Amino acid sequence: MGKPMATRLLQAGYEVTVWNRTRSKADELAPLGAKVAEQAAAAVRAADIVITMLEAGPIVAQVIAAALPGLQRAALVVDMSSTRQSEAQEAHTLLAAHGVRFIDAPVSGGVVGAQAGSLAIMAGGSADDFAEAEAVLATMGRPTLVGPAGCGQIAKLCNQLIVGGTLNIVAEALLLAQAGGADPTAVRAAIRGGFAESRILEVHGQRMLERNFMPGGQVKSQFKDLENVLIAAANAGLRLPVTELVTENYHSVLQRSPQADQSAVLLALENINPGQRLGDLADQLPG
């Protein structure tokens, strides 16, 4: 995700300095005009706006700690990773103590959205800080301020809750179509354009029919996000029974193929319905 996002910034004419824990990944951006820094602190030293895009909250905390000595007072850190709300709030508190501002701005849209500059960007922070960052964020997608620091992560979790749940429902619908004697491919075509139409039915419904589970958005990432949904719900005093079931389905696939595409939740459904399998094509799974 980081590479196409940085590429969009460079194409928009911004001066970009990059750093990655794996130096070779940062070097790929040098031919596009990026400056490559040796250390995180050196990368941020002259920056007014600092963007992080990392795997999970603990890694974000590590990178912020490494960058902290180089951050200018009043710099604006925008973390676009998907983390827990509490982790975003902790980053906000830590940076504020050093006079540094913070926005959590996780995204949805995947690598394709990052390449196209069409990411949904859900930002949590002050209105003034968002106004300062909005033009930069707009080069990568559609930014929306959803509340104070930490609320960007809540919005992303709402997104992942809907995505994860809908993937399960699409799998159930296609398997039901076949078990009931209908052609699942034709059923998918028939219901498209009605109220059941969605990007997930379009893209992941086709993946399920093809049994193409090569990684896009991965099972391990979806499971992590759904676990964070349940943590956020518990912190808010809520129980989300559908999400609990969906999370368990992803957990069962996680044990088998953590890097498979999230549409591989179909495998969990088939596992609890012995003798039922969507189509007769071979599974395409990462090694």
Give me the CATH number covering residue 208: 1.10.1040.10
10 with 113, same domain: the answer is yes
Q: Write out the catalytic residue numbers.
A: 156
pLDDT in tens, 58-71: 999 999 999 999 99
pLDDT in tens, 83-136: 989 999 999 999 999 999 999 999 988 888 999 999 999 999 999 999 999 999
174 with 127, same domain: the answer is no
135 with 58, same domain: the answer is yes
**Is residue 280 in some structural domain?**
no
- The stretches of the chain forming alpha helices (DSSP H) are 2-11, 23-27, 40-44, 57-67, 85-97, 110-116, 127-138, 151-179, 184-191, 199-210, 219-235, 241-254, 265-271
Count how many residues are written for the chain. Answer: 287
The upper half-sphere exposure of residue 186, i.e. CA atoms within 13 Å in the direction of its Cβ, equals 4
- SS3 of 77, please? strand
Phi and psi angles of residue 271, each rounded to the nearest 5 degrees, phi first:
-65, -35
Question: Considering Cα of 35, then 39, then 42, then 43, what sign does the dihedral take?
Answer: positive
pTM confidence score: 0.85
Structural domains counted in the chain: 2
Q: CATH code at 87?
A: 3.40.50.720
**Is residue 1 in some structural domain?**
yes
Domain boundaries, position 233: 154-272
